[in-house]
């Protein structure tokens, strides 16, 4: 059996704020004089029992109170890159949620400068190429997203695309059609969370109205045969996050996860960690979990790793280098 950590892979769906580990939350809170609602790490971890997406988001946003400075963003990102390296990540496309920081009084520059201080060292220090994707919080008004987009435009050289995250139900992609039109006109690629808790109709909207290059999650697409046919024909990548789906009760048990059925239907699936500090594992742990529960073969795992590179936004030459690394590993087993 292939060790999933040894498999070179791209991670295409990870929220940097979702990599904030409990110990680091307390470390930052202490040095920034921020009072948390929990007395210690163990008490905080006890609260990581989620019933749905919103119950997780409430904790995820609350923990961000501990992040105040550029140094915090830099250290958060370096800690992720260290873990990602140990998980065999060669390329990471990282989401961030500026609105969650702006509303706490931080500046867009504090967020960007901190993230960038880490990412500019990533290739040389960790052997990981990176890209940044800025997400709009879909439970905030369209006007807030538009203002955030204007703040990002001067940083277009450091931000490859925009996405859509936070509470999905009741916040369809159509709400952000004008924002995404403006983002594409400014040169950003687009992705969106769709079909995680929301219906397959939201996946259609993400494709048709937001013109996304990838769908984040998309697991509920399986409820719509016409959509499955379309996604398969167009080879639209889906960034599936199995441990997240179990922890947020999108599926009851890992054995019920649709990933294998999605692959068998010809969908271009990738496996990712989403918010690894909250969901019990980083990206290779997600590969291991589906390998065990869904009886995936080594070939399936290799296919998922190949899909992660073909679905990424890196240039073709770098893509070929990473694919050759996979070929090398396959030839050696």
Residue 168 binds Zn ion, judged by CB under 5 A:
no
CA torsion sign for 303, 308, 309, 311 is positive
Which CB sits closer to ligand ADE, 72 or 300? 72
Active site residues: 196
Token output for 176: 């952000």
> How far is 105 from 103, CA to CA, in rounded Å?
5
Closest distance of CB 95 from ligand ADE, Å = 7
- CB–CB of 22/276 below 8 Å? no
Diameter of the chain measured on Cα atoms: 53
Instruction: Considering only residues 4 through 33, tell me which ones interact with ligand ADE, judged by CB under 6 A.
Output: 15, 18
| 192 φ, ψ (degrees, to nearest 5) | -160, 140
Residues 6+ apart with CB under 8 A from 59: 47, 48, 50, 278
Q: Answer whether 19's CB lies under 8 Å from 277's CB.
A: yes
Q: Which of 183, 274, 289, 322 forms a contact with Zn ion (CB under 5 A)?
A: 274
Angstrom distance (rounded) from CA 45 to CA 36: 13
Pick 21 or 97: Cβ nearer Zn ion: 97
Counting residues that bind ligand ADE (by CB under 6 A) gives 11
For 251, the token pair is 């599926």
Q: Which is nearer to Zn ion, 69 or 313 (CB)?
A: 313
Verify binding: residue 93, ligand ADE, rule CB under 6 A: no
Measured from each CB, the residue nearest to Zn ion is: 274
Dist CA 238 CA 305 (whole Å): 13
* 244 lies in the binding site for ligand ADE (CB under 6 A): yes
Nearest residue to ligand ADE by CB is 165
Nearest residue (CB) to ligand ADE, 54 versus 318: 54
Q: How far apart are CA 168 and CA 120, in angstroms?
A: 32
Q: Of residues 184-243, which lie at the interface with ligand ADE (CB under 6 A)?
A: 193, 196
How many residues does the structure list for the chain?
Answer: 333
Question: Which of 281, 303, 320 shows the shortest CA–CA distance to 2?
Answer: 303
CB of 233 vs ligand ADE, minimal distance in Å: 26
The contact mask relative to ligand ADE for 126-165 (x = CB under 6 A, - = no) is ---------------------------------------x
Nearest of 236, 203, 235, 208 to residue 219 by alpha carbon: 203
**Which of 17/274 has CB closer to Zn ion?**
274
Q: Are strands 9-15 and 237-240 parallel, antiparallel or unpaired?
A: unpaired
- Which contiguous run of DSSP H or E holds residue 243? helix 242-247
18 binds, among ligand ADE, Zn ion, none (CB under 5 to 8 A by kind): ligand ADE
* Residue 53 binding ligand ADE, by CB under 6 A: yes
Count of residues that interact with Zn ion, criterion CB under 5 A: 1
Nearer to Zn ion, 70 or 274 (CB): 274
Q: How far is the CB of 196 from ligand ADE (least distance, A)?
A: 5
| Residue 197 makes contact with Zn ion by CB under 5 A | no
Query: Applying CB under 6 A, does 247 fall inside the site for ligand ADE?
Result: no
Binding site for ligand ADE (CB under 6 A): 15, 18, 53, 60, 165-166, 193, 196, 244, 274-275
Binding site for Zn ion (CB under 5 A): 274
């Amino acid at each position: 059996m292939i060790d999933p950590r040894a498999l070179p892979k791209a991670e295409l769906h990870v929220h940097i704020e979702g990599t904030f580990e409990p110990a680091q939350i307390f470390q930052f809170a202490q040095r920034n004089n921020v009072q948390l609602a929990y007395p210690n790490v163990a008490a905080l971890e006890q609260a990581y029992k989620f019933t749905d997406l919103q119950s997780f988001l409430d904790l995820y946003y609350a923990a961000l109170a501990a992040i105040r400075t550029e140094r915090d963003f830099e250290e958060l990102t370096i800690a992720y890159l260290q873990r990602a390296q140990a998980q065999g990540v060669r390329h990471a496309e990282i989401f961030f949620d500026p609105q969650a920081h702006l509303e706490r009084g931080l500046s867009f520059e504090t967020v960007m400068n901190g993230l960038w201080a880490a990412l500019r060292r990533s290739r040389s220090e960790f052997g990981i190429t990176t890209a940044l994707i800025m997400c709009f919080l879909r439970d905030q008004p369209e006007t807030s997203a538009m203002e955030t987009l204007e703040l990002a435009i001067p940083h277009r050289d450091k931000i490859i695309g925009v996405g859509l995250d936070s509470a999905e139900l009741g916040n369809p992609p159509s709400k952000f059609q004008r924002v995404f039109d403006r983002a594409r006109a400014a040169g950003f690629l687009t992705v969106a969370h769709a079909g995680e808790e929301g219906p397959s109709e939201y996946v259609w909207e993400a494709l048709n109205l937001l013109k996304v290059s990838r769908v984040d999650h998309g697991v509920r697409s399986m409820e719509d045969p016409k959509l499955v046919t379309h996604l398969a024909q167009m080879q639209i990548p889906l960034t599936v996050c199995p441990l997240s789906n179990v922890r947020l009760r999108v599926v009851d048990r890992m054995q019920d996860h649709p990933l294998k059925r999605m692959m068998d239907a010809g969908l271009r699936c990738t496996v990712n960690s989403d918010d690894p500090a909250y969901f019990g594992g980083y990206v290779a742990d997600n590969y291991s979990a589906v390998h065990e529960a869904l009886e995936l073969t080594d070939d399936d795992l290799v296919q998922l790793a190949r899909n992660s590179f073909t679905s990424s936004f890196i240039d073709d030459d770098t893509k070929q280098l990473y694919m050759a690394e996979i070929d090398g590993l396959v030839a050696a087993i």
